[in-house]
A = this chain, B = another copy of it.
């Protein structure tokens, strides 16, 4: 006798406590918002949501850029949109590479036919600002310089004061990856003279994955206007999308309506809390976790001077493999934490306390579970 397998259904999905590198926990309030009635992408009701999302994103990005919206794709689509709009074949781009997402930027740019000048740094460390300036001085004609604000693969926080000051006076466009930064630590697009900044929704913003907030400075828009060749991607071409976002409301593609509902609600939640309070909470809760993990023999993978509060890459206590207790956390406690990438693979956990995951009660629940799964001998 054979037993036929149970049909796969979303009804059976058991909730998890999402403490990996993303997605982060999505609150019931946001899940409720995404289930509101789908309406058309030209419906005045939706256009009001769309405009409000742009307003709220400007606040989060610390910018007055008119061209601020959400790309209809995940954070990586945002990365691709940032690059493809400004790069033309043969253009030079300087990229700081201190982790997986710096490598991804370089890979994408090369596929677009750009000459990539990598400024490497150790995984877990930051990219040296003086070194960046030096490389730019040797390549002053570079079309763009790109950095990762919060490296999701290592938990490193890239300082931007010095390089921002320098970039302000350059022709070269300054591109910033804020996928894991936005909503968790201050992102100051205008103050740091950033020309293009993109993020994700499923990290510190607290919405499900599927959209990529992005903003373009007027300098970036001007550069796009004066390109020699059309933007290689029709789907990500900011000029076409601007005709839909602007008063023309010209059809480009059908926006993912319900995903916008979720992003709108998540941004509302952040505004209600207050942006400063939200950053403080991430800072405080991340610090608590870091201290507690140190007490338990975990050691930071990241340079201690540059640790993000919201994404903690840590080596397990001496003699511990990382995969079996990580599997036990998911199986026995319903808690997801991430494994390492690249050189951190096999020895590191990445613990995200992002968005609604950045709560003292969450840290308590996680520590209880960690103590349980590490109780059994290594």
Please tell me if A8 contacts chain B, counting CB pairs below 8 Å: yes
A64 to chain B, nearest CB (A): 20
Say which one of A250-258, A303-311, A365-373 lies at the interface with B. Answer: A250-258
Say which one of A45-53, A157-165, A166-174, A317-325 lies at the interface with B. Answer: A45-53
Q: Is the CB of B77 within 8 A of A258?
A: no
The B-contacting residues of A in range 1-56, CB under 8 angstroms, are 8-16, 18, 20, 22-23, 25-26, 31-41, 43, 45, 48-49, 51-52
Q: Is the CB of B111 within 8 A of A230?
A: yes
Q: Is the CB of B13 within 8 A of A253?
A: no
Say which one of A129-137, A216-224, A261-269, A280-288 lies at the interface with B. Answer: A261-269
A75 to chain B, nearest CB (A): 7
Q: Is the CB of B107 within 8 A of A234?
A: yes
Chain B residues whose C-beta falls within 8 Å of the C-beta of A13 in the assembled complex: 36-37, 39, 45, 49, 261
A171 to chain B, nearest CB (A): 25
Please tell me if A104 contacts chain B, counting CB pairs below 8 Å: yes
A80 to B84, CA, bound (A): 14
Please tell me if A186 contacts chain B, counting CB pairs below 8 Å: no
A209 to B235, CA, bound (A): 15
Q: Is the CB of A74 within 8 A of B253?
A: yes
Beta-carbon nearest neighbor of A108 in chain B: B234
Please tell me if A196 contacts chain B, counting CB pairs below 8 Å: no
A173 to chain B, nearest CB (A): 19
Contact of A38 among B39, B75, B208 (CB under 8 A): B208
* Known A80-B234, A210-B259; contact A254-B9, beta-carbon cutoff 8 A: no
Q: Is the CB of B253 within 8 A of A76?
A: yes
Task: Report A76-89 CB contacts with B as 1/0, cut-off 8 Å.
Answer: 11011000100000
* Known A14-B45, A18-B38; contact A210-B210, beta-carbon cutoff 8 A: yes
Q: Is the CB of B254 within 8 A of A75?
A: yes
A113 to B22, CA, bound (A): 36
Q: Is the CB of A8 within 8 A of B52?
A: yes
A21 to chain B, nearest CB (A): 9
Q: Is the CB of A254 within 8 A of B23?
A: yes
Task: Report A264-295 CB contacts with B as 1/0, cut-off 8 Å.
Answer: 11001000000000000000000000000000
* Known A10-B261, A255-B209; contact A20-B38, beta-carbon cutoff 8 A: no
Q: Is the CB of B39 within 8 A of A18?
A: yes
Q: Is the CB of B34 within 8 A of A35?
A: yes
* Known A13-B37, A39-B13, A208-B257; contact A232-B232, beta-carbon cutoff 8 A: yes
Please tell me if A231 contacts chain B, counting CB pairs below 8 Å: yes
Q: Is the CB of A233 within 8 A of B23?
A: no
Q: Is the CB of A210 within 8 A of B38?
A: no
A84 to B51, CA, bound (A): 31
A148 to chain B, nearest CB (A): 15
Q: Is the CB of B10 within 8 A of A36?
A: yes
Please tell me if A151 contacts chain B, counting CB pairs below 8 Å: no
Please tell me if A336 contacts chain B, counting CB pairs below 8 Å: yes
Q: Is the CB of B34 within 8 A of A258?
A: yes
Q: Is the CB of B10 within 8 A of A235?
A: no
Please tell me if A112 contacts chain B, counting CB pairs below 8 Å: yes
Besides A74-B256, A80-B234, 19 more A-B contacts (Cβ < 8 Å) are A10-B261, A12-B45, A16-B43, A20-B40, A26-B258, A34-B35, A34-B258, A38-B202, A43-B330, A43-B336, A74-B253, A74-B254, A75-B254, A76-B234, A111-B232, A208-B256, A210-B210, A210-B258, A233-B233
Top 4 nearest A-B pairs by Cβ distance? A210-B256, A15-B37, A35-B35, A8-B52
